[in-house]
A = this chain, B = another copy of it.
Amino acid sequence: MSAEIAQAAKEPPRKRTNDPEGLRNKVLDVAEASFQAHGYHGSALGELMATAGVSGGALHHHFPTKKALALAVIEERVAAALDETWISPVRAADTAREGVRAVFEAVAAELEQQGFVRGCPLNNLAHELSLADPDFRAALAGIFAEWRQAIADKIRADQQAGREQGTDPERFAAFAVAAYSGAMSMAKTAQDASVLRDCLAELEGSPMPPFPSRAKRRRRILLRPGKP
């Protein structure tokens, strides 16, 4: 013990590494997860600081207010997540409809694998914050607009290739986003991802299976492995 004190007295107390960007990202990581799990009002900055291992001063230095933190999460993380799971796959797909189908199936598969439906980050925050603050609403509305525009642009590309002649790009885009958002809402509430496949099938206008009295598709109620 005396050795420790002697050391502490002699050496400049100990080193600290400044890593503003890394710390900022760490805070955004934790905030994104917490907002997704508990929402904005349900997330406490204290718990956030604890799980991120960040001091109050550091948090306040990068994000002066909770609102500023949430705005950063929306504009950087939520937008990026949508880009990764929706916009990029749709752009990379052969056609718009094929892209939408692929995303629906990929998300459904992922949800069934992880056994828990957390819901769409954008919709989760949109419902909670759209009426709470005009800045929040504007940021969220912008992301919705990008989402729809990416799909509409893909439809227009299809049309220039001779396909989708009878389709209204904007309307189809709005419809695809709405179907996905609503399906995720139900999937989250029911903790059952199968509704995503139902909506995809209906969106594609697939006919009923050949055998009239088909076996009832069993709906797996997912049980989450975490806290109550």
Contacts and interface: CB of A to CB of B under 8 A. Distances in A.
Interface of A: 37-39, 41-42, 118-119, 123-124, 126-128, 130-132, 134, 137, 140-141, 144-145, 166-168, 170-172, 174-175, 177-183, 185-186, 188-191, 195, 198-199, 201-203, 205, 207-208, 228
Copies of the chain in the assembly: 2
Nearest to A143: B189
A172 B207 CA distance: 11
B188 A181 contact: no
A71 to B, nearest CB: 15
Contacts of A181: 178, 181-182, 185-186
Nearest to A124: B127
B190 A141 contact: yes
Contacts of A188: 126-127, 130-131
Contacts of A131: 37-38, 118-119, 188
A123 B185 contact: yes
Contact of A198 (B134, B175, B198, B202): B175
A23 to B, nearest CB: 28
A141 B186 CA distance: 8
B171 A177 contact: no
A80 to B, nearest CB: 18
A31 B228 CA distance: 26
Contacts of A170: 198
Nearest to A181: B182
Contacts of A185: 123, 126-127, 178, 181-182, 185
Contact of A132 (B42, B123, B198): B42
A102 to B, nearest CB: 18
28 contacts: A39-B132, A41-B41, A42-B132, A126-B185, A126-B188, A127-B127, A127-B188, A128-B128, A140-B189, A141-B190, A141-B191, A166-B208, A170-B198, A171-B198, A171-B202, A175-B179, A175-B199, A175-B203, A178-B179, A178-B180, A178-B182, A178-B183, A181-B181, A181-B182, A181-B185, A181-B186, A182-B185, A185-B185
Contacts of A128: 39, 42, 127-128
